[in-house]
Structure 1
Amino acid sequence: MKGRSIAAGVLAIVVLGGVAACSIAYRSAIDPIEPPAAAAFDAGSIARGAQLAAVGDCISCHTSAGGKSYAGGAPLETPFGTLYSTNITPDPDTGIGRWSLVAFTRAMREGVSRDGHLLYPAFPYPHFTRMSDADIKDVYAYMMTRTPVKAPARDNALTFPLGFRPLIAGWNLLYLHPGPATEDASHNAEWLRGRYLVEGPGHCAACHTPMNTLGAEESGKPFAGGSIDGWDVPPLNALGHRQPAWTADQLTSYLRTGLASQHGAAAGPMEPVTRQLALVSENDVRAMAVYLLSLDGQPAGAAPPAPAAQAANPAQPAAQAVAQAQPPAQGDAQRLQRGGALFNSTCAACHAASAPMTSIGGRPSLAASSVVNADSPRNAINLVLQGIPLRGSAASHYMPSFAHTLNDQQVADILAYTRVQIAQRPAWASLDDSVAKVRKENTSK
């Protein structure tokens, strides 16, 4: 009798556990609504929502190359396969036109679509869950007043069995921590505003934190750097100890304009982020800068932590990515000579100390450039091969791509010269191999 009771108890626990798991993995649908007219939304709410959407750079992930704004279809390469962003215009059939504010809030806070299916955490709801009701309502007002675009969702291409969405319920149990950030009365209003924007709508840690094997941010390593789209993502937890150190003015300028006179220009995945932050109020961006600078908790004079980007990118062995201490005197003299000649013929018109681009307007010198001074040559290689594209008639910085102009040896020669002779830094190790590797990665995209 006792054995039967134990067995019955175990069975009950299993059944209850299964019911609980199903209740998490399978969520009920929220009834569709008739698409509301744009005039139904308050103009102030729409304007505030536009600012918050810009902080989150929603348009970059939800707009495909050459596609309509917010209509989705942009690919996101992950270690688990390719995800495609969805249409978040108010189209009633293929977008969110029939989503109520309740459905939109659930998606933002819990990662659940209106029809009940679970959203992949590439959509950063673990950060959006920190947002206030009022701010989510404002983002909803902004999105529901965009131009509707009929654009059906593309099928994702994920490794089996990750296409089975109920599995995300297990991920959520481990890594989704709903609710606002803990209160902190020890800081002023500017710092608190910056923390809210960085950790909530800005979701900066989603890119600037290394990921674990399940695609979640590594515990205990917030803002320690990462890797995305083949670019090293720098750590944000030691900005005050870089050389030269970042200041609130420099970081605010960089975030709003893509340029910092003592550090360089935004490129790669960060460049579109700065274009969106240019639309955000200077006070809010400065608050973000103040908060980010406060993450540097090291004592004055301490060396910054080693970048985590190499460890976060399994396709980039540390032995190839991290510079080895090699005095400039031991560098290849012929390489530096070739690199100097190529620099003078190819780069000097813009980057020489006497060039108008360098001497006018407070533009950064290559000697202070973050990519030239980085431990890894990866971002410098990407910058030479990919450049920084023009953005139509909008004011922006620009650099042409040299992928079809320079071969691997020429790229390596120029970068070696720039690193050793201009920045006066130790030569990067295995630079030829790194250039060939990065070019191959870019070609396969």
Structure 2
Amino acid sequence: MKLRYRWLAMLAIAAVVVAGIALYLMWEKALAPVKPPPPSSFGGQLTLRGARVVALGDCAVCHTARDGKPYAGGLALSTPFGTLYTTNITPDPETGIGTWSLEAFTRAMRRGISRDGHQLYPAFPYIHYTRMSDADIAAAYAYLMRRDPVVAKAPPNDLIFPLNFRPLVAFWNVLFLRTGPEAPESSRSAQWHRGRELVNGLGHCAACHTPLNLIGGEQWGKAFEGGVIDGWEAPPLTRLAHGPVPWTEAQLVAYLRTGISSAHGAAAGPMLPVTQELATVPPADVEAMAAYLFSLQQPASADSVKSGVPVADPAAIRRGSVLFAGACASCHGGKAPMQSIGDRPALATSSAIHAATPRNAIQMMLEGVPWQGEQALHYMPAFDAALDDAQIGDLALYLRATYSRLPPWDGVTQAVTDIRKGDAAK
């Protein structure tokens, strides 16, 4: 018993020490508010550069709520630790960043500290933005300060205890924040370095495409090996060239710039708005990102290339076939007019159908792809209200068995149920 108490005492002391370090590290001085700078104080060329930087950083994607004003925040981010709401980054002086100086903005981007000194939660990807150049940060600041101010206060975050205690973020930063740019590699091209700067820094691709550990930090040893974001699978980026349906660098560029690949499918879920932002930047930026990502490719594992005649529940396949004929064949059938218009992707090469899990195939059927106006070909109706869990499961099994030679997925109907529950909890 004495040994047990000794261990408990040591754990208590360790907890106090860790808390003390966290409290010390989180203590940051508030930076003085400034009078909102007039838009005319920022030059046109700097603002144009800022538009490019902000698009590459996906700022509008996270800082715009559904049906909300651009950059006014309020978007709910579902995490394993609860729900976070993004903040207002318009130049409103009361609810936005109108009173932030460039110094305050730079500190937030580099170290995750707000103007008033409190820690920002790492859902804001400052661990990646810290690699940005001073010039890019200044340009982003200029662009945001020239937006229309919007009065909008984000709802309070809903995080589990003790993660709702901000000082703990300081300790998290000790583990995961590495400030400063990455060292150059003399053997690499300028395009490769630009791609690495965008992918690892401003574009923060690893934030979604890398698995997280128990405390929400990226597992550095598994960089770009895939993750889950908002109920969608962010697929591995290290197997693009060696997956069941290999990508080419040119196909990846086209997908990132248009949101659609005739050989692999259409962007949906959290990736769709990212492609819409990348459509506005110079093609050379996207080409550099693709070049860097293709330098990371690893050979396919035995599991990912395993093939053979699928063995699935024949009754489920028959039911799925009937559902496909009634709900899907008019667009996705072999002789459907939509297959010959606009280079619409075929199911036989769909990345979602050839994925290791059914998650994205299920999500695509449940959520569809929203109407894009002039991009009408990039549209798919949602079937969440039209089909129940078993029907979505049967359809997924039918698609897997018909359009791939990979083994059937396990527990598909239960996966549909779980994904619906996750959506309902948001």
Structure 2 residue 317 is matched with structure 1 residue 372 = no
2:7 is matched with none
Letter in 2 for 1:234: P
Alignment of 1:279-358 (within 5 A): 279-298=280-299, 302-303=300-301, 327-328=309-310, 330-358=311-339
Alpha-carbon distance in 1 for matches of 2:69, 2:375? 18
C-alpha displacement of 1:362: 2.0
2:364 is matched with 383
Query: 1:165/1:282 Cα in 2 relative to 1: closer, same or farther (>3 Å)?
Result: same
Alpha-carbon distance in 1 for matches of 2:420, 2:308? 24
Report the more deviating stretch, 17-26 or 371-380: 17-26
SS in 2 for 1:152: coil
Contact 2:245 2:354 in 1 (8 A): no
Letter in 2 for 1:262: A
Query: 1:27/1:377 Cα in 2 relative to 1: closer, same or farther (>3 Å)?
Result: same
SS in 2 for 1:349: helix
Report the more deviating stretch, 356-365 or 96-105: 356-365
Contact 1:53 1:139 in 2 (8 A): yes
1:363 is matched with 344
Alpha-carbon distance in 2 for matches of 1:364, 1:351? 9
Contact 2:242 2:298 in 1 (8 A): no
Alpha-carbon distance in 1 for matches of 2:18, 2:231? 41
Query: 1:18/1:420 Cα in 2 relative to 1: closer, same or farther (>3 Å)?
Result: closer
Structure 2 residue 200 is matched with structure 1 residue 202 = no
Alpha-carbon distance in 1 for matches of 2:271, 2:331? 22
C-alpha displacement of 1:152: 2.0
1:335-381: CA deviations, max 9, x gaps?
22222222122111111122222223222110100001111111111
Alpha-carbon distance in 2 for matches of 1:64, 1:276? 16
C-alpha displacement of 1:305: 7.9
Structure 2 residue 79 is matched with structure 1 residue 78 = yes
Contact 2:63 2:70 in 1 (8 A): yes
C-alpha displacement of 1:442: 2.6
Letter in 1 for 2:418: K
1:299-343: CA deviations, max 9, x gaps?
xxx43786xxxxxxxxxxxxxxxx998843x43333222222221
Contact 2:245 2:351 in 1 (8 A): no
Letter in 2 for 1:50: A
Structure 2 residue 153 is matched with structure 1 residue 172 = no
Q: Select the residue among 377, 380, 385 that pairs with 1:404.
A: 385
Contact 1:72 1:85 in 2 (8 A): yes
Alpha-carbon distance in 2 for matches of 1:417, 1:263? 18
Alpha-carbon distance in 2 for matches of 1:324, 1:241? 12
1:439 is matched with 420
C-alpha displacement of 1:443: 3.3
Number of aligned pairs?
Answer: 411
Please give the TM-score of this superposition, normalised by the length of structure 2.
0.91
Alignment of 1:213-292 (within 5 A): 213-292=214-293
Letter in 2 for 1:62: H
Alpha-carbon distance in 2 for matches of 1:436, 1:268? 18
Query: 1:77/1:304 Cα in 2 relative to 1: closer, same or farther (>3 Å)?
Result: farther
Query: 1:444/1:122 Cα in 2 relative to 1: closer, same or farther (>3 Å)?
Result: closer
Query: 1:326/1:240 Cα in 2 relative to 1: closer, same or farther (>3 Å)?
Result: closer
Alpha-carbon distance in 2 for matches of 1:103, 1:354? 58
SS in 2 for 1:227: strand
Alpha-carbon distance in 1 for matches of 2:404, 2:23? 58
SS in 2 for 1:53: helix
Contact 2:225 2:236 in 1 (8 A): yes
Contact 2:63 2:89 in 1 (8 A): yes
C-alpha displacement of 1:407: 2.0
Structure 2 portions without partners, runs of 5+: 1-16
1:26-76: CA deviations, max 9, x gaps?
100111111111111011111111111111111121111111111111111
Query: 1:81/1:112 Cα in 2 relative to 1: closer, same or farther (>3 Å)?
Result: same
Alpha-carbon distance in 1 for matches of 2:159, 2:413? 33
Alignment of 1:87-166 (within 5 A): 87-166=88-167
Query: 1:363/1:440 Cα in 2 relative to 1: closer, same or farther (>3 Å)?
Result: same
1:245-294: CA deviations, max 9, x gaps?
21111000111111111111111111111111111111101110111111
Structure 2 residue 423 is matched with structure 1 residue 422 = no
Contact 1:242 1:304 in 2 (8 A): no
1:10 is matched with none
Contact 1:238 1:304 in 2 (8 A): no
Letter in 2 for 1:403: D
2:190 is matched with 189
Structure 2 residue 32 is matched with structure 1 residue 31 = yes
C-alpha displacement of 1:416: 1.7
2:14 is matched with none
1:311 is matched with none
C-alpha displacement of 1:184: 1.0
Alpha-carbon distance in 2 for matches of 1:121, 1:430? 33
Alpha-carbon distance in 2 for matches of 1:17, 1:338? 57
Alpha-carbon distance in 2 for matches of 1:287, 1:90? 32
Structure 2 residue 25 is matched with structure 1 residue 44 = no
Query: 1:327/1:440 Cα in 2 relative to 1: closer, same or farther (>3 Å)?
Result: farther
Letter in 1 for 2:388: N
Please give the TM-score of this superposition, normalised by the length of structure 1.
0.87
Contact 1:371 1:380 in 2 (8 A): yes
Contact 1:241 1:304 in 2 (8 A): no
